[in-house]
């Protein structure tokens, strides 16, 4: 006979799913913001991007967009600059 699950266990399962959805919607919003900023400021530097997004770092998000083929980075002297593909 299967073990009964408590109501608290079931609620915990739903909280996890909704937290994941909230996180995904936030990250997709940040993706759109990054793409929009790069579109309006081609050649933007990471520090400028972080300042405009009001985050300390955005390297994970930028790397994801590069892997998806949506943006590219180009070295300009000591600076790294980002452009839409």
Query: How long, in residues, is the chain?
Result: 85
Domain ranges of the chain: 34-85
**CA–CA separation, 75 vs 20, rounded Å?**
35
Tokens at residue 31, please?
A: 């993706």
pLDDT at 27: 67
Q: What is the pLDDT of residues 29-75, one digit of tens each?
A: 899 999 999 999 999 999 999 999 999 999 999 999 999 999 999 99
Terminal alpha carbon distance of the chain: 57
Range with top average pLDDT, 12-16, 19-23, 73-77? 73-77
- Residue pair 72/79 in contact (Cβ under 8 Å)? The answer is no
Q: Does this model's pTM top 0.75?
A: no
The number of C-alpha atoms within 13 Å of 2 and in the hemisphere containing its C-beta is: 3
DSSP state of 44: B
Q: Does residue 18 register a pLDDT over 60? A: no
Q: Which fold has domain 34-85?
A: Arc Repressor Mutant, subunit A (1.10.10)
């Amino acid at each position: 006979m299967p073990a009964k699950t408590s109501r608290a266990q079931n609620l915990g399962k739903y909280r996890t799913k909704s937290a994941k959805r909230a996180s995904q919607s936030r990250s997709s919003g940040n993706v759109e913001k990054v793409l929009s900023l790069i579109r309006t400021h081609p050649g933007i530097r990471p520090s400028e991007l972080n300042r405009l997004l009001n985050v300390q770092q955005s390297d994970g998000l930028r790397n994801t967009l590069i892997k998806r083929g949506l943006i590219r980075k180009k070295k300009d002297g000591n600076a790294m600059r980002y452009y839409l593909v």
